[in-house]
């Protein structure tokens, strides 16, 4: 399959910082295509926003901002000890009215895999652990791309991580484990909201903020294979 890419430039971008691009952030739009493109290209509204790509339901990708420029999609954000991640990330907005309620159509998922594969090949500093959802980097504010997002399918295609099955539940301080993986410390964010963000992505059947044995096993199934890399 060859990705259909449509140029649809947005004026909302800035120069990159000196650091390499090493994070890929996935979002859902919560709005249909046209409204999404309009908002992400609006240079009059207060709090201008944008993304590098918008991916429609049928798998058509719209390029709004060149990958070499900073787009404004992450907002206040944190991952692996760093904040304000726009400067070093690429953002994809995926058309979906609410990823907790609507599945992502197969044509959209295969186009997303192709789009992400290209991005990862152009930016080798984006390691698997740095492919994240907006909810991972802003757990107090965001729930996108939602509980129905196909993280496991993406991981099987080499994009991001999925827990190794059958891991022994993580012992000890669960928040410390979450921080080892990349999540924010529970300072400005209530601890339970961070657990919910983790579950939303890795244990979508139970998003209640309780670190039960299965939730602990899923975190262990992510951390164990990373081993000394942490």
| Residue 173 CB coordination number (10 Å) | 11
Closest to 164 (Cα-Cα) out of 227, 204, 218: 218
134 binds Zn ion per the rule CB under 5 A: yes
Number of residues that bind Zn ion (CB under 5 A): 3
Q: How far is the CB of 217 from Zn ion (least distance, A)?
A: 28
Q: Characterise 209 by phi-psi region: left (phi > 0), alpha (psi -120 to 50), beta (else).
A: left
Considering only residues 144-163, where is the footprint of Zn ion by CB under 5 A?
Answer: 144
- x/- contact string, 9-48, with Zn ion (CB under 5 A)? ------------------x---------------------
Q: Which residues are catalytic?
A: 93
Residue with tokens 């090949």: 121
What does the DSSP 8-state code read for residue 23? E
**Binding piece for Zn ion, criterion CB under 5 A, among 54-62, 139-147, 166-174, 222-230:** 139-147
Q: How far is the CB of 27 from Zn ion (least distance, A)?
A: 3
**Binding piece for Zn ion, criterion CB under 5 A, among 46-54, 113-121, 128-136, 168-176:** 128-136
Helices (H), the chain: 33-40, 106-122, 134-137, 151-156, 174-181, 191-202, 213-226
218 binds Zn ion per the rule CB under 5 A: no
Task: By CB under 5 A, name the binding residues for Zn ion.
Answer: 27, 134, 144
């Amino acid at each position: 399959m060859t990705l259909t890419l449509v140029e649809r430039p947005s004026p909302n971008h800035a120069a990159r910082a000196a650091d390499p691009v090493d994070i890929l952030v996935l979002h859902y739009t919560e709005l249909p295509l046209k409204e999404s493109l309009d908002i992400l290209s609006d240079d009059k509204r207060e709090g201008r926003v944008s993304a590098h790509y918008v991916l429609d339901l049928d798998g058509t990708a719209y390029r709004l901002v060149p990958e070499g420029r900073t787009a404004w999609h992450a907002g206040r954000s944190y991952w692996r000890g760093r904040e304000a991640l726009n400067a070093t990330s690429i953002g994809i907005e995926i058309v979906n009215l609410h990823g907790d309620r609507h599945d992502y159509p197969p044509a959209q998922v295969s186009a997303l895999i192709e789009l992400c594969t290209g991005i990862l090949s152009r930016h080798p500093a984006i390691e698997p652990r740095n492919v994240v959802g907006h909810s991972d980097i802003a757990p107090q504010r965001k729930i996108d791309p939602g509980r129905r997002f196909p993280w496991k399918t993406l991981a099987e295609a080499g994009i991001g991580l999925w827990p190794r099955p059958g891991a022994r539940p993580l012992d000890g301080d669960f928040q410390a484990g979450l921080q080892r993986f990349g999540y924010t410390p529970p300072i400005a964010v209530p601890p339970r909201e961070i657990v919910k963000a983790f579950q939303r992505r890795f244990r979508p059947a139970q998003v209640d903020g309780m670190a039960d044995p299965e939730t602990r096993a899923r975190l262990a199934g992510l951390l164990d294979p990373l081993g000394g890399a942490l």
